[in-house]
Chains A and B, each alone.
Chain A
């Protein structure tokens, strides 16, 4: 009876251990599996689930622009360029457009840079329009669906609204020609003109090699409670505050500038990445647009992101359960930020850190060269694959026309 009892106990114990597969031990660091609203899809392999046809546009739409200004490869809108390169050599690419599920148009709309490096979106609508006119004239696939099975990467501030100022962007709205297409963009805000239903939100581009060279040993204790580096007032464009970041960043500064727990300032230290790895919380407030590369940096460095942006839609929101990973603070609750953060129970904080430590989470935020499994390129393809099969009203009957080719501001109709 004795040995039998022990055997039974042993079996029960091992069974229970196998059941706790939510805690994997990798390199001595327990992580947790991440599953969002679409299920456990972060590690899906898109190969075999969809086929993408890449249009061959003349190089004036892509290569020549890049040659004129190679800075486009390093700024936070570089995703459009790297997506093109990835698709050209990806196994999901097909050279036979008849069997393609999705069509990609490689047009670099965010590569017209000022001397400072900021992209000017004034010519982007015309460029996009010209590209669409080209593909609808030379291939029948655009007219077949009026773009419903096409996708475009528009990583600029307000996506396909093609303006950096929110009021102007709202006025313009999404480019009418892209009304039926799927947009892959960094901008995401609920109930906003510039976020179309069915868009895929991606993280802004952050250079993976640069971040990986600044890693510090895991055992360095996290001694900074809240960390933030960046502007609080945009004195150039909004001197008295209130417009920039809807006053949220200014509120953070005014309320917490002398609080020892908040390491916040406008400096540009060389140890920015190292400091993030020594912090427990990293603030990711909105700026002129709600998204920022800080989210990507916080995830890579294991710092819990504190997102202060009302109604924001975060990257890959259906694959990543952001509510469980980050802390969301309403802009009106900013004065109570310290109370909010200190009232989070330590177990919840440790769980968030475990989720952040999951390598597939970090991988999903990056655009590495060359592409690696589970990275942001694959998440985009997974997102596109999840939208298949196409709706039946995607394919138009012959002669049916939905798009208005002359809609939009007069300036957009000029040829590019």
Chain B
């Protein structure tokens, strides 16, 4: 029934279409069918079949695409269904009596601006808005009255110093609170360290310590403790106010650590993750024979169920006994002490002289200076360890990681990591732009006082390679390994020895 209604309307419409009426009359007659009429009839039938099969929505789509190819087609659309769709191209207003109806039903265009890409000015403004919002959040929900963070770092100039110290420096640069960085350097102040910390933009106190760093881990730990005590002496002298934390130069700190230490009252302890660099595979073989579970590589306060400090959790280093590193460049895991300094934070007033509200369970700093044995951790400052506050959700959060990685003792690195004079070329480039340039031999007068070894490798250049314009010569190059642009190189270790 629907089909016949469509046919009827189709015939009615035909009389209004643009096509020649002669054809229409003949079609209406039904007696003589012109090819065009037959064609349209057939097409109509096919489209109806498509509608039935695929459903109204999809066929509507198909018709829309067919008839939207050119505007004139709209007028020649004899099918009522398609015509309806075509008229939907104009937005139809809702049948509501209302003044200035802005919202209409129907198909709308998708508005795209001429250059739909980020505008850098807008991006900058958005970032400023974000910054302002976050500042407000910090003011509302962050730490009230943040205290200055006093970071104490013992260091000495060596190959890995730049790596470690840059890491600590970047962490400290991100701290959103005021910061004072006390860098104590074994062997005296050097330009190496000074050049690294100068880039931080932080307030730094760079002091030298008379002794040079020994070659064994034992000795190194002892010396570092003494350097830290020296730094505490500076805190005392200058009456620096804030929270003292020990940022060893090869440790990695999380930003939450600095938020957490703001909560310390007098002395606090955090959990430190212990990362051991194990190099030999014998460790795995050993483990099969053991029954106990692998120890947690964490050092820190241990709490009971009511979140009170009941003891300390230290790293179980028994399995590494006898296989740990003794000298700094040993290829063996480096063991931490029982309790590392970096796991403690102090209120700087604990080390001040003549402060009235210092609690009575803390010893004076001077008493430790003369101590013959090593001060292993800040706990030696206390008469009783029960007053230590466990931080980081009572030690459940590990906020920093302890790691010791050093290079071989004979490793050399360029002073301040600046390559001057330029290095030799060890791998020649495939194409040389200067086939006929004479070899250069600049004079190489770099002297370093008391430098231990000076490796001077002056490569005698040889003939130049012909630029391998043909493939053939590339294979030949193996015989003509050349070094172009030779320079002598000097790699020296700027280790100052007093």
Contact = CB atoms under 8 A, between A and B. Distances in A.
Is the pairing of A and B real?
yes
Interface of A: 28-30, 166-167, 170, 189, 191-193, 217-219, 221-223, 225, 237, 239-243, 246-247, 250-251, 254-256, 258-261, 280, 310-311, 331-332, 334-336, 338-339, 341-344, 346, 349-350, 353
Contacts of B110: 241-242, 247, 250-251, 254
Interface in B136-153: 136-138, 140-142
Given A191-B103, A240-B61, A254-B116, 7 more contacts: A170-B94, A219-B140, A242-B110, A243-B108, A335-B111, A335-B113, A342-B126
9 contacts: A28-B141, A218-B137, A223-B134, A225-B126, A241-B110, A246-B103, A261-B122, A335-B116, A342-B122
Nearest to A223: B130
Top 10 closest pairs, chain A to chain B, by CB: A219-B141, A191-B98, A335-B113, A342-B125, A247-B108, A242-B107, A346-B132, A221-B134, A247-B110, A250-B110
Contacts of B142: 219
Contacts of B98: 191
B268 to A, nearest CB: 20
A350 B136 contact: yes
B122 A219 contact: no
Interface string B440-457: 000000000000000000
B112 interface: yes
A310 B101 CA distance: 10
B117 interface: yes
B69 to A, nearest CB: 15
A221 B136 CA distance: 10
B176 to A, nearest CB: 10
Contact of A191 (B96, B107, B136, B137): B96
B129 interface: yes
Contact of A341 (B61, B108, B119, B126): B126
Nearest to B104: A246
Nearest to A254: B112
B109 interface: yes
Nearest to B113: A335
A33 to B, nearest CB: 18
Interface in B390-423: none
B381 to A, nearest CB: 32
Given A167-B105, A192-B94, A222 B112 contact: no
A193 B126 contact: no
Given A191-B98, A192-B94, A338 B119 contact: yes
Contacts of A189: 103
B101 A219 contact: no
Contact of A258 (B101, B117, B119): B117
Considering residues B110, B119, B137, which has the most beta carbons from chain A within 10 angstroms of its beta carbon? Answer: B110
B71 interface: no
Nearest to A245: B108
Nearest to A236: B57
A193 B116 contact: no
Nearest to B57: A237
Contact of A353 (B112, B122, B133): B133
B103 A280 contact: no
B102 interface: yes
B138 to A, nearest CB: 7
Given A166-B105, A255-B113, A193 B96 contact: yes
A166 B112 CA distance: 25
B30 interface: no
A247 to B, nearest CB: 4
Interface string B171-198: 0000000000000000000000000000
B129 A346 contact: yes
A258 B109 CA distance: 21
Given A223-B134, A239-B61, A334 B111 contact: yes
A343 B107 CA distance: 31
Contact of B126 (A28, A254, A261): A261
A258 B118 contact: yes
B95 interface: yes
B123 interface: yes
B260 to A, nearest CB: 13
Contacts of A335: 111-113, 116
B137 A222 contact: yes
B350 to A, nearest CB: 28
A261 B124 CA distance: 10
A217 B113 CA distance: 39
A191 B99 CA distance: 8
Contact of B103 (A28, A219, A311): A311
Contacts of A338: 118-119, 122, 126
A261 B121 CA distance: 12
B411 to A, nearest CB: 41
Contact of A170 (B95, B107, B112, B118): B95
A191 B101 contact: yes
B133 A349 contact: yes
Considering residues B117, B132, B140, which has the most beta carbons from chain A within 10 angstroms of its beta carbon? Answer: B140
A251 B110 CA distance: 5
Nearest to B128: A346
Given A221-B134, A346-B129, A29 B140 contact: yes
Interface string B52-90: 000001000100000000000000000000000000000
A349 B135 CA distance: 13
A124 to B, nearest CB: 21
B114 to A, nearest CB: 9
Given A191-B98, A311-B103, A341-B126, A332 B141 contact: no
A26 to B, nearest CB: 12
Given A251-B111, A280-B129, A311-B103, A221 B137 contact: yes
Contacts of B96: 170, 191-193
Contact of B117 (A192, A222, A259, A311): A259
A331 B104 CA distance: 12
Contacts of B122: 261, 338-339, 342
